[in-house]
Amino acid sequence: MYKAIITVRLRPSILDPEGKAIEQALQSLDFSALSGLRVGKYIEMNVEATERDVAEQMVDAACGKLLANPVMEDYSYELHEA
């Protein structure tokens, strides 16, 4: 069994209104040194597989088909033995 930790983020060319709103809120709270805020998704899941390459294929397929929008988002993942 493996544990996958997946990070999904908007591509740099895509506007991030949620990130901009949070950044403006932080600046209004006197955190003016913080900027360039972007919001993404953090996903953890268990993967039932006996071989690492099979687990990687399953995680990559799940990201490509559902967890990330390939038009707007990039993803990366780490795979750890559980």
For the chain, 82 residues long, give each residue's pLDDT as a single digit of tens: 999 999 999 999 999 999 999 999 999 999 999 999 999 999 999 999 999 999 999 999 999 999 999 999 999 999 999 8
Nearest alpha-carbon partner for 6 in 38, 52, 44: 44
Q: For residue 4, what are its two tokens? A: 């996958």
Residue 66 has what pLDDT? Answer: 97
pTM, to two decimals: 0.87
End-to-end CA distance of the chain: give it in Å, rounded. 6
Question: Which domains are assigned to the chain?
Answer: 2-81 (3.30.1280.10)
Helices (H) and strands (E) in the chain, counts: 2, 3
